Amino acid sequence: MANYRQFNSDELSLKEKHQLLLASVAPRPIGFTASKSIDGSINLAPFSYHNAFSSNPPVVGISPAYSGRTGEPKNTLTNILATKEFTLSVVTYDMVEQMNICAAEYGSDVDEFKKSGLSRHPSKSISIPGVAESPLIMECRFLQHIQFSSEPAGGNLLLGEIIYFHARDDIYNKAGQIDPKKVELSSYHSLVGYHLITAPNIEEYVMTTPENAVGILDSAINEMERRFDIFSENRVRNISEYQKKCINNGKLEKIPYIVVLIDELADLMMTSNVVEHLIVRIAQKARAIGIHLILSTQRPEAKVVTGLIKSNMPCRVAFKVSSGMDSRIVLDSKGAELLLGNGDMLYISPSSTQAFRAQGTFVSPKEIRLIAKHLKEVAAPNFEPSLVFLRLNRDSIMRVFKERRLQNRLKKKLKLEKLRLI
């Protein structure tokens, strides 16, 4: 049984309570709340204390606290209680810098839109704009105010009914549903058609549905087998030798490097029982022919980072984890649980079994946008356009599913036979 640390909230300091609350809801959604004062000044403030509370009617809530320094109500609270309306705009990763600027305490006459460089998106039913850079904006009318305390840092809950939604087209998937990953990875949208590989009849530039993800992995395996045939015909061992041969023979098909990046491996492993099989096949053979695999997860569990996957991933990086067991799953040794965070990491190279400590570099959202812009401007694709689109072979996908189903049946049969023998 696990050991728990127990705290009486009445005996904790404000800072201690705040830290426990921040850790209890993670990752925390952040939204921009825009409001207007009586004299017409627009205020923009980020809120991590916000959430949805009802679908019928659609209700969201934010929790503006009194100033911890002066005990005075903040502009957002004063404005909403006065005008009875506000907007809530989703904050994405590439808006972090602007969010930090708006988080500072300014006077009521300061326009945070101008201060941060954010643009205004006009509302349809109220007089307050949303944030144009946000992929999802909600126009809200004030419903209810609940005051928890009037002391400094005391909290309030403001509930508002959503009158209008503004959802950007590119955050929807093929099924007509809002895709959270598209919201998060919207910074890379400019690379669509340049360096992001997709497949025919798939409108996602980031694969988020299990079927599409499995399809792309299986297509990568098909591409791997095709490349092996090409290398065999040209009597080369790897992509480096093939590219050297291409320089002297302009008739040879140009073959680009492909990187398959899987974010949140745990979620993908939960949705399909064939993912492990596909990943292992790519990891075992694909490096030589220019297909590389990057896996990431926030849940380094044994059922996610399996022994087969781990044994075929020669390079591993671990940032701070919660326990020595998590560290062992990633690195085969303890140590990652003692890291300091903020990019502090342990690294195992393909040529060594020893973990080296290193400092990862923080890449800001602004830098990501600039890198994507640079790649689009100066590194346009120079390979065959047909290679931009991997073949999505549904028959092949079904074959993989059937193979894995047959394997599971055989395993169950063997277990039953063992039990009978016992």
Q: What is the residue extent of each domain of the chain?
A: 12-167, 180-289+363-403
Report how far apart, in Å, the C-alpha atoms of 264 and of each of 7, 222, 304, 351 are: 32, 24, 10, 26
- How far apart CA 253 and CA 301 sit, in angstroms, is 42
How many other C-beta atoms are found inside a 10 Å radius of the C-beta of residue 267? 17
pLDDT score, position 24: 66
Both tokens assigned to 357:
């400590």
Both tokens assigned to 355:
């973990």
Strand positions, DSSP E, 91-230: 120-121, 130-131, 136-147, 156-167
Q: Which position has the token pair 């972090």?
A: 96
Conformation bin of residue 410: beta by default, left when phi > 0, alpha when psi is -120 to 50: alpha
Both tokens assigned to 10:
């009445």
Report how far apart, in Å, the C-alpha atoms of 237 and of each of 61, 318, 351, 405 are: 60, 32, 20, 34
| Contact call for residues 282 and 295 (beta carbons, < 8 A) | no
pLDDT in tens, the chain (422 residues): 557 677 777 787 877 777 777 666 656 678 899 999 988 899 999 988 888 888 888 999 999 988 877 888 888 999 999 999 999 998 887 787 888 888 887 877 888 998 888 999 999 999 999 999 888 899 999 999 999 988 888 889 999 999 999 988 777 655 566 666 666 666 666 666 667 776 655 666 677 777 778 878 888 888 888 889 998 888 888 888 888 888 888 788 888 888 888 888 887 887 767 888 888 888 888 888 888 999 988 878 888 888 888 888 888 999 998 888 888 888 888 899 899 888 899 998 888 878 899 998 888 777 877 887 787 777 655 544 444 444 445 555 555 556 656 666 666 666 666 555 55
Total-model pTM: 0.54
Class for domain 12-167, per CATH?
mainly beta
| Contact call for residues 245 and 253 (beta carbons, < 8 A) | no
pLDDT score, position 405: 62
